[in-house]
A and B are shown apart, each in its own frame.
Chain A
Amino acid sequence: MITTKRAGTALLSLTLATMLAACGSSGGTESQDGKVTLDYWLWDDQQQASYQACADAFQKANPNITVKITQTAWAQYWQNLTTQLAAGQAPDVWTDHGSYYPQFVGSGQILDLQPFVTRDKVDLNQYQAGLADLWVKDGKRYGLPKDWDTVALVYNSTMLKEQKLKAAEMAELTWNPTDGGTLQQAIAKLTVDENGRNGLDPAFDKTKVKVYGFLPEWGDGSQGQNGWGDLAVANGWTYLDKNPWGTRYKYDDPKLAQTIDWYKRLIDKGYAPKFDKQSTLGRDAVLGAGKGAMTFAGSWTINTFLGPDAEQKFALAPMPLGPAGTRKTAINGLSDAIFAGTEHKEEAWKWVKFLASADCQDIVAGNAVVFPAVKTASDKAAAAHRAEGRDVSVYVDATKEQGGTFLLPITEHGNEVSQIVQDAIQQIVLGQVGAAEGLKKANDQVNALFT
C-alpha cells in the first residue's frame, strides 16, 4: 500500500510540477557564463556555406557570441518564420525579403535599426544604389542590405547548337505579346518531339514532346519575378500606383493579361509543359535532366547552372528586348532583419552589421554564389565568377543599363496578395478562366485588402 501511495503521490506531484512549470515564466538562451547564441535563418542552401564562413569569422572576433544557422527551403521558410514569430520563438536575425517584410513591420516584429546605424555611422552609400532604401518605412529602417539579384535567360548550349542557333542571336532576342518575337522562334526551335522534329516543323507532334523549349514558373506568387513579371513590365505594365508602400495594384491591366495569354499560347502549342503535367521537381532539375531547353533564371541560381555539378552545358543571355525596345529585369535585394523580441539586441546588431559589411560580403563574394550588396564586393563576386570560367556579365550589365531594372513591389498584405494572384494565374494557364477576367477578379480581391 505504501508503494502505491508513493506512486500516486509521485504522479500527482509530477502533474503539479508540470502545472507549476507552466505558470513560471522563463525563456532565453543565455547561459550563465555570458555566452550568447544567436539564431540566424536563411533559405538558400547554396549560400549556407558562405554565411557559415561569415559566422566563423564573426565568432573568432566575438568569442562570446555563437551564431547558429538554420536553412529552410524557400517554400516553407515564411510559414515557419510566421509560426515561430507567433510563438514568440523567432530567430534573432533572419534573411528578409521585400514582399514579406511589411507584414512583420506592421505587427511590430522587426527592430528599427536606424538608431544603431546612426550611432555606429554605417555608410549607406557603400551599397548598390536603391538597395538600402527598400527597407525604410516612415523614417525607420528595418534591415541592412546583403545582396541583390537580377534575372536572365539560361539555355542549354548543346541543344542550341543542335538547332543551329547562335549565342549571338540569343543576346539580341526580341519579345512581344502578340507573336512572341524572336524569343518565341528560338523556343519553338528548341522544342523537340520524340521523332526529333522541332516546334517549327509542320509535322511537329505536340502530344509527344521530348524537350520543351521553355519552362515557365507558376509558383511565382504575386510578382512573377522569374518570368511573367519581367515580360509584363517590358510590355509597359506597372505593378501598382507607387512603390514602395502603394495601395492600389493593377493586375487588371490588359498589358499583364496579354503577357499571361502569350504564356498560355506557348503551352497550347506544346512549347512549354502543361500546368497539370509539369514536373514536381523544380525547373532547374528538369533542365538538368535534359527535358527542357530554356528558362528565366535569377542570379542566385548561377551555381546550379554554371557550377561544377551542372548536368548539362548551360549559358546565359540577357532578357529579351520588349515591345518598346528595352530589356527589363526585376532587381531585388535581400536584407537581414532583427527580431524585435530578441533578448540580445546588441549582439544581433553586431552580427547584422557584420553581415552588411564589406568584410563578410567579400567572403560571400569569394564563394561566387550571389552578388553582395556592397558595390566593391559585388565586383569581387563577378571577378570570382570569371576566375571560375563563368560568364555572368548579363546579370551585372542589367544593373548598368539605363532603366533596365525595376524594383519588385513592397506593400502590406504581401502574403495574401501572393496567394490570390498565384491562384488566379494558375487558373488562367489551366484554362479555367480567361486571363482578363481572372486577373480582374484577383485584382478586386487584392485591392479589397487595402480598404
Chain B
Amino acid sequence: MRTTRTAERSQVTEPGDGNGDGNGDGNSDGNSDGNSDGDGGTKAGAPRRGKRDDRRAAWLFLIPAITGFVIFFGYPAVRGFWYSLTDYNLLNDPAFVGADNYAKLVHDPQFWHSLGVTAYYVVINIGSQLLLGLLLAALMHRLTRSVALRAMLLLPWLVPNVTVALLWIWLLDADLGFVNHLLKALGFGTIGFFVSPDWAMPTIGLVNTWAYTGYTALLLYAGMLQIPPHLYESAALDGAGELRMFRSITLPILRPVLALVLVVSLIGSFQIFDTVAVAAGGSGATSAIRVIYYFIYQQAFQYFHMGYASAAALVLALVLGVLTFVQLRLLRASRSDLA
C-alpha cells in the first residue's frame, strides 16, 4: 500500500538535512530567475556539510499556501471558536455570552438525537461498506485483476452524492420506484424506503455504501497487492483452500491497512450531509434522518443561530479530533507492521 510506504519514507527522510546534501551555491542564474533565486543567504563555496539557507525562496514558494491557510483555515477556526461564545445570528453584531451555547447544547435533546442518528448511520454504512469492500477486494486480488472491472466498480464513487441520492430516491420511490415494482412482482409488500422512519436511515446508509464500496475495495485491493505472492503459492501447495488462505494470510497481513481504511472512512462517514439534504426534500428531514451536519446547517441557516451552530460544530470537531488521533496512532501501528 503506497500511502503507508510514502509515510515510511517520510520517516526516514524527515529529520531534515541530516544527510547533508547542502551544496549551497545553487544560484548563479539569478538574473533570469529573479523572483525565486532565493538562496540569498548561501555562503558560496561552503563545504559540503554547510547549511544552505533558502529563506527567501522558501517564503516565496509558500506565499499562496500560507495566504490560503491563514485566511481560510486559521482565521475561520479562531472565528468559529469566538462565534461559539456569542449570540451571533448572521445579522447582528455578536455579543459575548460565555459558555451559554455549550450549556444549552448539553441539554438539547435534538443535538443528542442527531448525534445518535449519525452514529447509527455510521455503523450501518461503515459496517456494510467494509465487509463488501473486503469481499470485492479479495475477488479482484485472487480471481481477476481486470482494470476494466475495477474502473466500473469505481464509477459510483465518481458521481456526486446529490446524483447518487436522486438516483436512489427514484429507484426506491414508494409508488413508482423500480425496487418496489420488483418487490410487488415477487409478492412482497412495498416499502416506503425514504418515508418510513424505520427504513430511512438504513436506506441512506446502504445507498452510500453503494456509492463508496468500489472505492473502499480498491484501497483494500491496493493493500493486498503488498502481500508477497509466494505466501499464497506455498499455502496452495499445502492444500489450503481460498477461504482458508483469506483467513490465515490475507486478513492478518491486511489488518493494519484495514484498520486505517476503517478509521478514515469512519471520519468521512460522520460528515454525511448531501444525501440527507436531498432526501429531506419534502417537508424537511424527518427526525429519523436528521444527522449532526444537518442539525448544524439548520441551526445556522434556517434558525439563524450562528453562535449555537458554531458551538455544535466545535463539539463535532472535538469528536472527530479524537477519532483522527486514534487514526494517527493506528497509522503508526500499521507502519511498523508492514515494515
Partner of B286, one of A75, A86, A423: A423
User: In the bound complex, do residue B90 and residue A8 qualify as a contact, i.e. CB atoms below 8 Å apart?
Assistant: no
Bound-state CA distance A419–B300 (Å) is 15
Known contacts A276-B192, A280-B195; is A79 also within 8 Å of B91 by CB? no
Partner of B192, one of A12, A278, A286, A419: A278
User: In the bound complex, do residue B63 and residue A12 qualify as a contact, i.e. CB atoms below 8 Å apart?
Assistant: yes
Q: How far is the CB of A264 from chain B (nearest CB, A)?
A: 16
Bound-state CA distance A75–B285 (Å) is 11
**Which B residues lie within 8 Å of A19 (CB)?**
67
Bound-state CA distance A420–B101 (Å) is 20
**Which B residues lie within 8 Å of A221 (CB)?**
283
Q: Check if B194 is an interface residue, CB within 8 A of chain A.
A: yes
User: In the bound complex, do residue B35 and residue A86 qualify as a contact, i.e. CB atoms below 8 Å apart?
Assistant: no
Partner of B283, one of A83, A219, A277, A281: A219
User: In the bound complex, do residue B197 and residue A276 qualify as a contact, i.e. CB atoms below 8 Å apart?
Assistant: yes
Binary interface encoding of chain B residues 59-95 relative to chain A, with 1 for a CB under 8 A from any of its CBs, else 0: 0000110010000000000000000000001111000
Partner of A2, one of B32, B283, B301, B303: B32
User: In the bound complex, do residue A103 and residue B304 qualify as a contact, i.e. CB atoms below 8 Å apart?
Assistant: yes
Binary interface encoding of chain B residues 282-293 relative to chain A, with 1 for a CB under 8 A from any of its CBs, else 0: 111011000000
Interface of B, secondary structure class, is loop
**Which A residues lie within 8 Å of B169 (CB)?**
280
Partner of B91, one of A108, A278, A280, A415: A108
Which residues in chain B, 185-224, are within 8 Å of chain A measured between CB atoms? 190, 192, 194-199
User: In the bound complex, do residue A281 and residue B32 qualify as a contact, i.e. CB atoms below 8 Å apart?
Assistant: no
User: In the bound complex, do residue B32 and residue A8 qualify as a contact, i.e. CB atoms below 8 Å apart?
Assistant: no
What class of interface size applies to chain A in its complex with B?
A: 35 or more
**Which B residues lie within 8 Å of A71 (CB)?**
none
Q: Which residue of A lies closest to B306 (CB)?
A: A86
Partner of B32, one of A1, A85, A219, A432: A1
Q: Check if B173 is an interface residue, CB within 8 A of chain A.
A: yes
Q: Check if B4 is an interface residue, CB within 8 A of chain A.
A: no
Q: Check if B17 is an interface residue, CB within 8 A of chain A.
A: no
**Which B residues lie within 8 Å of A82 (CB)?**
301-302, 304
Interface residues of B, count at CB 8 A: 36
Partner of B195, one of A2, A8, A278, A423: A278
Q: Which residue of B lies closest to A22 (CB)?
A: B71
Q: Check if A416 is an interface residue, CB within 8 A of chain B.
A: yes
Q: What are 29 A-B contacts with C-beta separation under 8 Å?
A: A8-B35, A12-B63, A12-B64, A75-B283, A76-B281, A78-B302, A82-B304, A85-B91, A86-B90, A86-B91, A86-B304, A103-B303, A103-B304, A107-B89, A107-B304, A219-B282, A221-B283, A275-B195, A276-B198, A277-B190, A278-B174, A279-B174, A280-B169, A280-B192, A280-B194, A280-B195, A419-B284, A426-B287, A427-B287
Given A79-B302, A82-B302, 13 extra CB contacts under 8 A: A1-B32, A1-B33, A2-B32, A8-B35, A15-B67, A75-B281, A79-B284, A82-B301, A219-B282, A277-B196, A286-B175, A423-B287, A426-B286
Residue positions of A touching B, CB distance < 8 A: 1-2, 5, 8-9, 12, 15, 19, 75-76, 78-79, 82-83, 85-86, 103, 107-109, 219, 221, 275-281, 286, 289, 415-416, 419, 422-423, 426-427, 430, 432
